[in-house]
Structure 1
């Protein structure tokens, strides 16, 4: 039916730093209509108001929205954002109030539809909208693998590194969804990266199956990462898993085996780090972080602030080809022609895994980011720290799952 227009008070525009703008909305600010003229004529329309669940009339970003009814009850409330996503909530107080279970996001327009019934059985519908102001504090993130549609190795986890600390980890983790083409079992785990930033990784229980396709949906727009620091967008990532390739490095035997589908296709002699506390090569499982080609090793690590961690001195002040990065502290596999006499005989490097040029060229051509280097043998340094590179495979599956913020409920 058609109702006469009702004047609507307009709230004043907030300052740039304000985080919301809509006051309590009374009957004068709502349009009411019934399913039929007869229904609408049964008594006075129900008055509907909007506010925050904490009792304030102003709804701020991060508040829970409250819809109230006076002179009747609410029968249904729907609150949606511009993408059609609902703000979940439920009725309470005998139907006189509806409170959202999720918090409102900054910089978001919400459309509210409230259906009501009065004591005489008259039914009505009230419509309104509110817009929260943009937040002055944001959190951002970096995804890895970093390229959409990339093909990576069987040990590559999904990694999300945050610009600012995440204190509401469970809330953030609930908005992260991983889907795979073969229902791979995996879990999120929270870690610190080498710079101390918060990072959450999703790794499978076992190495990925070759050919698996993986998709991440980070539905984070408007989510508070803690302390009122919000995300301002959603994120998507899709990539695929390549061939089954594993590099098995035996420090004691001074050789590595390149495995394809569980079979050795090439045995390569190596010279690893000197057997002392300063130069010994770390052990553990290292997904290949990057293929960096030919670099000046000392200058490259110095720019990253890491040259001192591997005792390079002037020995590595040279161009190094076929550089394959394994840790943040400077462990690489690469060609080492200056150490050729020791390859296959003595561990004499500054911590890296060195090969003659032809073997390094071959391995560099075959390897892909995310392929695991499984380094075993005697090492006075033992396993690398989990923050030193991609350390997700340094622990077994049961321990990894405990790193999830939702582990108690999983």
Structure 2
């Protein structure tokens, strides 16, 4: 007896197929002669690729891409137009990555997850290798905030020379905002010379009080402002005018509280001007500008700029100030005789671009 059209076998097609297929593509399952009722795609570690069946029931596509060097098992359940159910199984493997791209991300690396940061803290990802497929990478970066903060990614060159992408809000964060980064990069190709990403990255953090550090180099004064109220004014001495020892101006963001460190002028291109241990060191740029204790410069605090580019203060003031600030606090620096404005890649200098200029640095604009 010949089966009716409604009971003929359903044909299921899975792509990719075979051994060592190229990674970086979604898994697709199609059915002819019937409809898909469920599809499961699982790797050897038990991780499932989520996806959804199309409205007509004829196809299923995974949300994430197949990653390099993985083996996948596919199970598809179908139903004929006549109601007969059938299960089809398939398998395929992907070629391993010939080169792997890795990410250093902030806040997160070195500070742990769930940290509290200041209102100017960007989300920053620095890549080991070049990223040519910037739009594809940016599509995989998800920012979730507790109050729908407006912001944008921007691609810049890090001080180290590596490719980097930062996300900053349109204006300073609102205190109390909870932020999550989900960088779903596993299975994404960086492009030529960059290699594959083979893992995802995530971090969460919370925004602390609206605390702003105002540095007036012309008046040789630092003012800590919290929630609109002046907490304390501190006499300081900035970079010596007229040469390479001048300070930067614009908005710098406190990158890290590094405590007591060795500062060697040769590492920042100032020959053998100094080599000493410095207390209460707070990094503001990758190029070597800090706020810190500078007791050797005591006679200049509040009177003149005579440092090698940093913002120096007394031991007592530095100890107090160090205990008040946290990474992510903006230092809004003004002064007539400076080296210029902090560049986006020299620490977290994105705030020195207008919102329109920053948005234009997104690969998706």
TM range (shorter): 0.7 to 0.9
Q: Secondary structure at the match of 1:154?
A: coil
Partners of 2:243 and 2:79 in 1: CA distance: 74
Residues 142-164 of structure 1 show CA distances to partners (whole Å, capped at 9, x for unaligned) of 12112111111111111111111
Change in 2 beyond 3 A, CA 1:382/1:122: same
Change in 2 beyond 3 A, CA 1:153/1:101: closer
- Say if 2:14 and 2:90, in contact at 8 Å, map to a contact too: no
Residues 84-111 of structure 1 show CA distances to partners (whole Å, capped at 9, x for unaligned) of 333568699xx6x877787532214242
Give the structure 1 partner of residue 23 of structure 2: 61
Give the structure 2 partner of residue 183 of structure 1: 148
Across the two proteins, how many residue pairs are aligned to each other? 355
Cα distance, 1:124 vs structure 2: 4.7
Change in 2 beyond 3 A, CA 1:215/1:244: same
Give the structure 2 partner of residue 265 of structure 1: 231
Greater Rg over alpha carbons, structure: 1
Cα distance, 1:378 vs structure 2: 0.5
Partners of 1:112 and 1:245 in 2: CA distance: 55
Cα distance, 1:281 vs structure 2: 0.8
Q: TM-score with structure 2 length normalisation?
A: 0.86
Partners of 2:19 and 2:6 in 1: CA distance: 30
Does 1:274 find its partner at 2:240? yes
Does 1:85 find its partner at 2:54? no
Give the structure 2 partner of residue 207 of structure 1: 172
74-83 or 220-229, which moves further after superposition?
A: 74-83
Cα distance, 1:116 vs structure 2: 6.4
Give the structure 1 partner of residue 35 of structure 2: 75
- Say if 2:20 and 2:94, in contact at 8 Å, map to a contact too: no
- Say if 1:59 and 1:65, in contact at 8 Å, map to a contact too: no
Partners of 2:280 and 2:185 in 1: CA distance: 39
Residues 92-145 of structure 1 show CA distances to partners (whole Å, capped at 9, x for unaligned) of 9xx6x8777875322142424163658x99775433232324323221111211
Q: Secondary structure at the match of 2:275?
A: coil
Change in 2 beyond 3 A, CA 1:158/1:102: closer
Change in 2 beyond 3 A, CA 1:231/1:273: same
| Uncovered stretches (5+) of structure 1, i.e. residues with no partner | 1-37
- Say if 2:19 and 2:93, in contact at 8 Å, map to a contact too: no
Give the structure 1 partner of residue 321 of structure 2: 363
RMSD between aligned residues: 3.1
Change in 2 beyond 3 A, CA 1:108/1:253: farther
Partners of 2:190 and 2:304 in 1: CA distance: 50
Counterpart pick for 1:343 among 301, 306, 325: 301
- Say if 1:39 and 1:123, in contact at 8 Å, map to a contact too: no
Change in 2 beyond 3 A, CA 1:354/1:61: same
- Say if 1:291 and 1:322, in contact at 8 Å, map to a contact too: yes
Change in 2 beyond 3 A, CA 1:328/1:89: farther
Change in 2 beyond 3 A, CA 1:233/1:64: closer
Change in 2 beyond 3 A, CA 1:58/1:245: closer
| Uncovered stretches (5+) of structure 2, i.e. residues with no partner | none
- Counterparts in 2 of 1:163-242, with a 5 A limit? 163-227=128-192, 229-242=195-208
